[in-house]
Amino acid sequence: EYPYTRGLYATGYRGRTWTIRQFAGFGNAEQTNERYKMILGNGGGGLSVAFDMPTLMGRDSDDPRSLGEVGHCGVAIDSAADMEVLFKDIPLGDVTTSMT
């Protein structure tokens, strides 16, 4: 009922736990996929993708302005194919994800 004073849900988080995701990403999509599988294999229930700076700025990895930043502080994503590799063999219907 209006007004919601406990977030998005009328009962707040009394009937639903907080969404917890591990923020991770480095190198290329394959390396980050391996990391995600390790996180999930050790009990993690959610993933938050950390993109590298060129990806955040909409630049390809081979753009001259990306030099030295590719995969440095996050995963490099240049195409939809990279996203397929990033989440390969990860059950997205069961794992909560976000893109940061």
| Residue carrying structure tokens 């707040």 | 12
Range of the domain at 69: 22-92
Q: Is residue 40 part of a domain?
A: yes
Continuous H helices in the chain: 29-41, 53-56, 80-86
In order along its 100 residues, the chain shows pLDDT tens digits of 566 666 666 777 777 777 789 999 999 999 999 999 999 999 998 999 999 999 999 999 999 999 999 998 999 999 999 999 999 999 999 999 999 7
| Total count of domains within the chain | 1
Q: Is residue 37 part of a domain?
A: yes
SS3 content of the chain, % helix, strand, coil (to 5): 25, 15, 60
Contact between 40 and 34 (Cβ < 8 Å): no
Q: Is residue 10 part of a domain?
A: no
